[in-house]
Structure 1
Amino acid sequence: MTQPTVLIIDDEPDILELLEMTLGRMDLLTRRASTLEQALVLLDAESFELCLTDMRLPDGDGMTIVRHIQQHCPATPVAMITAFGSLDTAINALKAGAFDFLTKPVDLTRLRELVATALRLNQPKPDSPTDSDDDPLLGISPPIERLRRQIGKLARSQAPLYISGESGSGKELVARRIHALSPRADQPFVPVNCGAIPSELMESEFFGHRKGSFTGAVADKPGLFQAANHGTLFLDEVADLPMAMQVKLLRAIQEKAVRPLGSQREEPIDVRLLSATHKDLAAEVAQGHFRQDLFYRINVIELQVPPLRERREDLPLLIRHILARLAQRNGMPAPRLTDSAMDRLQSYRFPGNVRELENALERAFTLCDEQQIDAGDLYLSPCTASQGDDSQDLSQIDHLEDYLDNIERQAITQALEETRWNKTAAAKRLGLTFRSLRYRLKKLGLDD
């Protein structure tokens, strides 16, 4: 097996010597260049498993190297070496396609971690999830195919990634897929719902604590950053972080280190950070609810997950998959959808996206008769069941399930009042079976 070769580009002899010595101890071959011209000649003449380049060169800059590699040898990861404090430069390099960056003075532990991660990029994975059978992103529509291509490209980078999309569109699924295709795939993937952690426990949960650091801290406990070390940390609903925690998170990202509560020392951490929220994060920044500097750090690259209404051709495949999964879980055959039920689903806007589709099918699966789901078995919010382009004002919705339950409760209560609480007549009025109405009354607490 041939030794991997790394191209190192820097005009400072001491830096070249340090990089060459460190990589040599990792059993790697190196080629060196001290100018942009020399580097481009070597890149055109040879192939490399990794390139490390300084930002400032006597006859140009490292961004030219990044762009050249992206155009001519995109399989070669390139990492930028920047002066301490030049984070804007590093972020621009990541946006241009750089794999990662280092700051001067070079931390040798960080350098070795970066090199090891980069070299895993092009190693064959025996259990690689690249086969379509293992792809959890179901669909054949142009938006989902475009998303797959973007995921494949972004999985190779270490850049912080912001995944935007509506509630229920599959942002965590996308984050897991990025991790599974990345060189960190054999390391932990740690998802965190930022809105579910009480503010008083947040610092301890994120960074860990030492025994005795507060009442109830009976033992040392690692935080979420430590749990995700060498892997991927996914911060879902990041817009829900309180301002004080945003400051601490920004420092952890910048310093690549965390300090547990009760400790006087910082611990280095190596995580790929993925973030997501259903809110408009730029609008949150404009309104003063989210720090602009943190926004720029986590939003180096944005990946948009399309809503279900923009990929309607994927509905039949999604429906078959969801019903098959429900059937397997319940140990019974999957029901079939009538034409009217399919028409109802195809004409619905799905404000709750794939999650709402799953909930609607699970209810229908439970309530349908004779292994057949009809339009009457589907509960879909009446205010959005149309294909028109008029979108609803969702600004008052805090939680989709509560919102949908409230609409359902209002409709059922109105039907019962109009039929003088004759449940059989109310069920007929709503287009439901009596059994279905009883289920909904019990679920909503209206069966007294």
Structure 2
Amino acid sequence: MAKILVIDDEVVFARSVAHTLSRNGHECRSLSSAEEGMASIEEDRPDLILLDIKLAGMSGLDALRRILNLDGSIIVIIMTAYSSVESAVAAMKDGAYDYIQKPIDHDELSFVIEKALETHRLRERLSYFQRKEIQQAAHGEIIGASPRITQVIELIERIAHLEPGSAGELPTVLLLGETGTGKDLVARAIHRRGSLAGQPFVEIECTSIPKDLAEAELFGYEKGAFTGATATKPGLIEAADGGTLFLDEIGELGLELQAKLLKAIERRQIRRVGSLRERKINVRIIAATNRNLETAVKVGSFRPDLYYRLKVLTVELPPLRERGDDVALLANHFLKRLTHKYSLPARQFTEPALDALKKYRWPGNVRELAHVVERALLVCDEEEVAPSALGLDIAFPVIASRRRSSLSGTDEALEIQFPERGIDLEEIEQQLIRRALDLTDGNVTEAARKLHIGREALRYRIQKYGITRPVS
């Protein structure tokens, strides 16, 4: 629903148009002069104005210029008689969205308005993403000097400076790495450092889109396509047109949606839900995942054709535990940035604190490090941040097992002990899963029960780690 203002000195006609648009679900009112219209706009800004070009008093052209000077985001559609088409064209040069001739066909008018509102919504969305990208750019530098991350930075520069004719001609990029390694940061760096820097960057978190709404969110939909579709809505892929579409955690997309995405990438066309018309798209695709897609292909949860289409260029991000002194560089970077954010006095880490940060295994990688530094800064009142403020003095579990006799009526169980430190949490998780599957002879349901997690959650981890079930 949009807020529409009709300005026409033919009062009966203006009221008729307003009534028709109100029946279509819009909030609509009519006024008989440009002067009234300007006064009204000052108090209550409409989304769209239908403006007659010939008015008593202030002319439609003068009113158009004043309206757009007041608020350039307002959509203005000119209404004109056949003999005034030249004036209508002049109005479009001054910023009018479109014009429609009198006598007006209401179906044509509805179509023009819906098209204008759709364009307006798309522009607003692009503006939002561009503002968001500018805000995030200030915190988007890649910090590090280790050989592994230096290779990544060099590869980013090579990818960013590819110069094809359009966004859609750029090769797809697949970012691989554990959770928290900064895949989204790398995607934005590729976008900002290349020829598409001034174009939209649209991020889609594949895990957060409800399955029943995923297609509509990605591809958009037409009015009436399903219950609740009260207006036409462009999808997120269209929002990225001319720029970069970043598909984060693409391994979580369902197979049906994978097929549609593959078709869109290869044909550079999409079709909205409920539409019969194909729409051209011009986007560069960057995808990211923390899953092993080769394993997912083998087990049938990811399409091989989409996998090979995405991995034209592959960037593998190293986990933080393999980046050596980068831990200290990043920790000091976060400390400086967060000190400024919270308007606190300058702080620094003690040498024992830096040593503790370097020895920690960082299962959550850079994201976890940022959270640890923020917590330490907020709980520590001293100028120097000591190890005690970091909260890293924890013991990591080592896996052991025992089997109890099924003849005694007791169940086989898992034991967890905590005598050692420095073991990676993902390694621990894999050991637990393998032990549970071994104890249950590969029965996923029973193994999930022992691990106190859902069956589907266990299946996901089995696929993620490429764990082979024992054969009985």
Tell me the TM-score normalized by structure 1: 0.56
From 138, 151, 157, give the equivalent of 2:143: 138
1:153 paired with 2:158, answer yes
What are the superposed Cα offsets for residues 270-298 of structure 1, whole Å, 9 maximum, x if unpaired? 11000001111111111111111111111
Are 2:246 and 1:234 equivalent residues in the alignment? yes
Q: How far apart, CA to CA, are the structure 1 residues paired with 2:270 and 2:432?
A: 35
Q: What is the aligned partner in structure 1 of residue 179 from structure 2? A: 167
User: Separation in 2 of the partners of 1:229 and 1:391?
Assistant: 38
1:177 aligns with 2:189: yes
Extract unaligned runs of 5+ from structure 1: 1-128, 399-448
The residue type paired with residue 159 of structure 2 is L
Give the distance between the partners of 1:216 and 1:390, measured in 2 at CA.
44
Q: Is the 8 A contact 2:176 2:288 kept in 1?
A: yes
Distance in 1 (alpha carbons) for counterparts of 2:306 and 2:264: 11
Contact 1:184 1:232 (8 Å CA) reproduced: yes
| Match among 366, 369, 380 for residue 378 of structure 2 | 366
Decide whether the 8 Å contact of 1:195 with 1:237 is kept in 2.
Answer: yes
Write the letter of the residue equivalent to 1:251. Answer: K
Map of 2:361 onto structure 1: 349
Write the deviation string for residues 397-442 of structure 1: whole angstroms up to 9, x where unpaired.
Answer: 99xxxxxxxxxxxxxxxxxxxxxxxxxxxxxxxxxxxxxxxxxxxx
Larger Rg: 2
**1:347 Cα deviation (Å)?**
0.6
Counterpart of 2:428 in structure 1 is 393
Say which of 310, 315, 338 aligns to 1:298.
Answer: 310
Tell me: CA distance 1:390–1:333, structure 2 relative to 1, closer, same or farther (3 Å): closer
Question: d(CA) in 1 for partners of 2:391 and 2:243?
Answer: 40
Q: Specify the alignment match of 1:215 in structure 2.
A: 227
Task: Say which SS state the counterpart of residue 326 (structure 2) adopts.
Answer: helix
Partner of 1:186, secondary structure, is coil
- 2 CA distance for matches of 1:265 and 1:397? 51
- Give, as a single letter, the amino acid of the residue that structure 2 aligns with 1:383: F
Q: Distance in 2 between matches of 1:386 and 1:347?
A: 10
Pairing 1:319–2:324 present: no
Task: Tell me the CA shift for residue 373 of structure 1.
Answer: 1.8
Partner of 1:312, secondary structure, is coil
Write the distance in 2 (CA, Å) between the matches of 1:345 and 1:275: 31
Distance 2:139 2:371 in 1: 23
| C-alpha deviation, 1:180, in angstroms | 0.9
| Aligned counterpart, 2:280 | 268
Matches of 1:324 and 1:332, distance apart in 2:
10
Provide the alpha-carbon RMSD of the alignment: 2.4
Matched with 1:31 is: none
Q: What code does the residue aligned with 1:283 have?
A: T
Tell me how far 1:214 sits from its aligned partner. 1.1
TM-fit CA distance, 1:135: 6.8
Partner residue, 1:416: none
Q: Deviations over 1:35-83 (max 9, x none)?
A: xxxxxxxxxxxxxxxxxxxxxxxxxxxxxxxxxxxxxxxxxxxxxxxxx
Q: In the alignment, residue 215 of structure 2 is paired with which amino acid?
A: E
Deviation digits for residues 351-406 of structure 1, max 9, x if unmatched? Answer: 111001011111111111323321111123531895679972344999xxxxxxxx
- Asked if structure 2 preserves the Cα contact closer than 8 Å seen for 1:326 and 1:334, the reply is no
Q: 1:332 aligns with which of 313, 333, 344?
A: 344
Q: Does 1:382 align with 2:387?
A: no
Matched residue of 2:345: which SS?
Answer: coil
Which digits, 9 at most, give the CA deviation of each residue in 1:138-160, with x for residues without a partner? 11111121111111111234111
For residues 323 and 371 of structure 2, the distance between their equivalents in structure 1, rounded to whole angstroms, comes to 19
Residue 32 of structure 1 aligns with which residue?
Answer: none
Distance 2:303 2:204 in 1: 19
The alignment partner of 1:276 has SS state of strand
Secondary structure at the aligned position of 2:366 is classed as: helix
**For residues 391 and 228 of structure 1, what CA distance do their matches in structure 2 show?**
35
In structure 2, distance between residues paired with 1:300 and 1:171 = 17
CA distance in 1 between counterparts of 2:221 and 2:389 reads: 50
CA distance in 2, matches of 1:318, 1:357: 8
2:319–2:365 contact (8 Å) kept in structure 1: yes
Q: Describe the shift of the 1:310–1:341 C-alpha distance in structure 2 as closer, same or farther (beyond 3 A).
A: same
Q: Distance in 2 between matches of 1:222 and 1:389?
A: 44
**Cα displacement string for residues 106-160 of structure 1 (whole angstroms, at most 9, x for unaligned residues):** xxxxxxxxxxxxxxxxxxxxxxx9xxx9970111111121111111111234111
Q: 1:386 to 1:182 in 2, by over 3 A?
A: farther
What is the CA–CA distance in structure 1 between the aligned matches of 2:153 and 2:314, rounded to whole Å? 14
Alignment partners' CA distance in 2, 1:388 and 1:217 = 51
Matched with 1:202 is 214
Tell me how many residue pairs correspond in the alignment: 267
What letter matches 2:317 in structure 1? V
Question: Aligned partners of 2:367, 2:209: CA distance in 1, in Å?
Answer: 22
Distance in 1 between residues matched to 2:330 and 2:344, nearest whole Å: 19
Q: CA 1:273/1:286 → structure 2, altered by over 3 Å: closer, same or farther?
A: same
Give the distance between the partners of 1:291 and 1:328, measured in 2 at CA.
Answer: 46
Structure 2 CA distance, aligned partners of 1:216 and 1:314? 50
2: CA distance, partners of 1:395 / 1:151 = 32
Other-structure match for 1:253: 265
1:196/1:395 CA distance change after superposition, 3 Å: farther
Output the CA distance in 2 between the equivalents of 1:156 and 1:397.
45
Measured against aligned partners, the alpha-carbon deviations of 1:79-119 in whole angstroms (never above 9, x if no partner) come to xxxxxxxxxxxxxxxxxxxxxxxxxxxxxxxxxxxxxxxxx
Counterparts of 2:379 and 2:198 in 1: how far apart (Å)? 41
Write the distance in 2 (CA, Å) between the matches of 1:242 and 1:159: 23
